[in-house]
Amino acid sequence: MAEKILLYTRFERFWHCTQAILIVLLGITGFEIHGSFHFIGFERAVHLHDDAAWILAGLVVFAIFWHFTTGEWRQYLPARDMIRETVRFYLVGIFRGEPHPFPKSRARKLNPLQRFTYLFLKLILFPLQFVTGFLYLFSNDWPNLGITADLESVALLHTAGAFAFIVFFVVHVYLTTTGKTPLAHIKAILTGWEEADRPPA
Amino acid sequence: MAIESNWCRCTSCHAGYGWKDKTFDFSSEENVDCLVCHDTTGTYEKVLTGCGHPAYESTISEGKTYDPVDLGNIARNVGKTSRATCGACHFFGGGAAGVKHGDLDTSLLAPSKDLDVHMDMQGLNYSCTSCHVTFSHYITGRHYSEPAPKNRRMALPKDDGNRLSCESCHGPSPHRSDDKLNHHTDIVACQSCHIPAFARVNPTVMSWDWSVAGRFDEKGRPFKKKEPPDIGPNYLTRKGELVWAKNVTPTYRWYNGSFHFMRMGERIGDERPVVLSGPNGGPGEPDSRIHPFKIHQGVQPYDPVTMTIGIPKIFGPKGSGAYWSDFNWKASLAAGMMSAGVTFSGEVDFIKTETYWSINHMIPPKEKAVGCASCHARDGLMAEIAGVYIPGRDRSRTLDTAGWTFVALSAGAVSVHGLLRILSRGREKGE
Ligand code: HEM
């Protein structure tokens, strides 16, 4: 019988949930600004985008602080083992009804693919989006700040980052359905508890 | 058209008494017509073709009767200039109401707040010189190619009261509700957002085709057509075809405050339409901002051999070559260009021209300012502005195609993966 484990603490759940909402909001308003569709209007999109960006920035500062004080940042260190097994599971095992090869636990809650993806997210994509986003936000003050850049390059990098976020979002949401039951992972990130496939190693 | 050879008509605005030819002495005080600007009775009116003189006795010119002006009464009532006295010339540029500017016409004599927040009769009630502060008769403003004094900040005592620019009263960051608007003011001129349309009350002429002038009715008489009647004439034997418009959205261009002009006798370049006068400036130049303009389209006579714009003689008696008497372009250009000292080959053809008018007046209340999406759109007001990245207008097609392709591929991949999972689960159950 599978046992229930507490996978995500209250802060992590709050953080993840708020971050998800903000990123969806940033994506929608961002592509409205970009002119891809007309939904709430350019003006409101700009203001929502900027407000969401500031809130996200505040949240991320908190999250970084939390990760370092709790030591949880180690969760994202690249794993050396189980990579092959994990890849094989998603390509083959999952269709055969095999259990996930990676035992989730409070101490090791991310499988090697997750570790790799989230590390990429945290070290590359978020910084890219923040740096270009804040450069964009303060483009009017570049001369005072001594920054020489051109808005077009900044905007294009920011747009490229936005596409990467969407791709991540699509795959990420899909993978949440690959738990024991399609909603198992979703329940876990909302409630904190997940039925472990295997007893903790 | 040209001032040379048409002196007596043009000088009814280009001030002075008795400005008949090139020997006129500008520096003589007696020759500066004081009353056009300083009359407060509103009765001082010049005869249109009277070489700058008013009617001293009852006079008929161009079908209009001019009663003699009571110079004694006017002289007792000289005073400060007003919108009416400045407007006596500036509202009628081009020879009739609203022909030239589009943002300066008789609707500004007693404007509502909706038309102009500054000159609003019931509100600020500014006169022209509230902004065009005048010292020792130097009226601040652009003078031909010399830009108006520009100080994009609050006017201080050291500016000697010079406060023509919007910033001199409002400062460069006048918006309290939205800082994004203030971010624009270094690149987008205030007028670009605050004058969403010009000629909002009276129509203005947008194009003038001289090539079709000189047609006569069945009885061989000059005629006029006015359709619809509330707009100015759209065909006149003497002038050709005019297109009037109301509530016109401006055209936007980079502008550093100075203009370039095609000079008399200057060879026409390769640019079509030929720009007779247009704004200087471009992206990245420190004093250049995006500014609204009216573009007046013309079709006018030129000399296809010497490649110069024709200088017609317009007014004059029959046989003098004056177009409005003889209706013969060759004769008119021969007379006009001789007087101006420009070579004329004898050939006449017509060419399209453009004249730019900068738009600075008719500022409605702030609620009417141009909305963000009018500019931040693929084919918005900024469509022709080069050299700046404008979110919502600009993007990289390659990046967008690549981006959406990746999104589609990932969505496709997870769909296939999901479908396979569902199918495989069905098979397991079936086994
Ligand atoms: C993380 C902090 C972020 C900041 C500070 C930021 C800032 C900005 C700014 C300043 C703009 C220009 C329009 C405006 O002033 O609102 C912008 C545009 C945009 N943003 Fe963000 N943004 C952030 C995150 C995101 C995210 C996460 C996405 C996508 C998921 C995104 C997608 C976009 C897009 C597509 C545009 C339009 C780019 C263009 O067409 O020029 N942004 N962003």
Query: E strands of B22-118, at which residues?
Result: 59-61, 64-66
Q: Which residues contact B412 (CB under 8 A, 6 or more apart)?
A: none
Helix (H, G, I), strand (E, B) or coil at B126: coil
Tell me the average pLDDT across B328-344: 93
Q: Are B295 and B279 in contact (CB under 8 A)?
A: no
Alpha-carbon torsion angle A11, A14, A17, A21, nearest 10: -130
Predicted pLDDT at B75: 61
Q: Are residues A170 and B414, on separate chains, in Cβ contact within 8 Å?
A: yes
- The predicted pLDDT at position B30 comes to 47
Determine which residue's CA is closest to atom 7 belonging to ligand 1. A133
What spacing in Å lies between the alpha carbon of B28 and ligand 1's midpoint? 65
Residue A151 touches partner B, C-beta closer than 8 Å: yes
Least confident of A165-169, B91-95, B178-182, B303-307: B91-95
| Cβ of residue A139 lying under 6 Å from some atom of ligand 1 | no
Ligand 1 atom showing the smallest separation from residue A49 Cα: 16
Give the tens place of pLDDT for each residue, A181-199. Answer: 889 899 999 999 887 655 4
User: Does the beta carbon of A134 sit less than 6 angstroms from any atom of ligand 1?
Assistant: yes
Distances B109 to A97, B33, B412 between C-alpha atoms, Å: 85, 22, 66
Query: Which sign, positive or negative, has the C-alpha torsion B120, B121, B125, B128?
Result: positive
What pLDDT shows up at residue B10?
A: 57
pLDDT digits (tens, 9 = 90+) for B41-72: 666 565 555 445 555 665 665 556 666 666 66
Which residue's C-alpha comes closest to atom 12 of ligand 1? A136
DSSP class per residue in A96-147: GTPPPSSPP-SSS-S-HHHHHHHHHIIIIIHHHHHHHHHHHHTGGGHHHHT-
The answer to whether A158 and A149 have CB atoms below 8 angstroms apart is no
**B377: nearest CB among A35, A46, A95:** A35
At residue B59, the pLDDT reads 60
pLDDT at B8 over 60: no
Using the predicted structure, report yes or no on whether residue A9 has a pLDDT greater than 80.
yes
Is it the case that residue A65 has pLDDT exceeding 90?
yes
**What is the distance between the alpha carbons of residues B341 and B2, in angstroms, rounded to a whole number?**
13
CA of B119 to the centre of ligand 1 (A): 41
Token code pair at residue B365 = 């209340």
Domain boundaries, chain B: 1-79
Cα A89–Cα A93–Cα A98 angle in degrees, nearest 5: 110
Q: Percent of chain B having pLDDT more than 90?
A: 53
Q: Are B205 and B232 in contact (CB under 8 A)?
A: yes
Report yes or no for ipTM above 0.90. Answer: yes
Q: A51 CB near a chain B CB, below 8 Å?
A: no
pTM (2 d.p.):
0.91
Contact yes or no for A152 and B394 at CB 8 A: yes
A94 touches chain B (CB under 8 A): yes
State whether B183 and A140 contact (CB < 8 Å). Answer: yes
Q: Give the CA angle between residues B91, B93, B98 to the nearest 5°.
A: 55
DSSP string, B129-174: HHHS-EETTEE-S-BTTBPPP---S---GGGTT---SHHHHH-S--
Does the beta carbon of A97 lie under 8 angstroms from any beta carbon of chain B?
yes
Check if the beta carbon of residue B204 is closer than 8 Å to that of residue B101: yes
A-B interface: how many C-beta pairs under 8 angstroms? 81
Angle B52-B57-B63 from CA coordinates, rounded to 5°: 70
pLDDT at A145 over 70: yes
Residue A49 Cα to ligand 1 midpoint, Å, equals: 7
Measured distance between the N- and C-terminal CA atoms of chain B, rounded to whole angstroms? 93
Task: Report the residue from B393, B407, B428 with minimal CB separation from A166.
Answer: B407
* Contact assignment for A97 to B425 by CB distance below 8 Å: yes
pLDDT tens digit sequence for B144-178: 556 666 666 666 655 655 678 898 889 888 998 88
pLDDT at res. A1? 46
Q: How far apart are CA A163 and CA A169, in angstroms?
A: 10
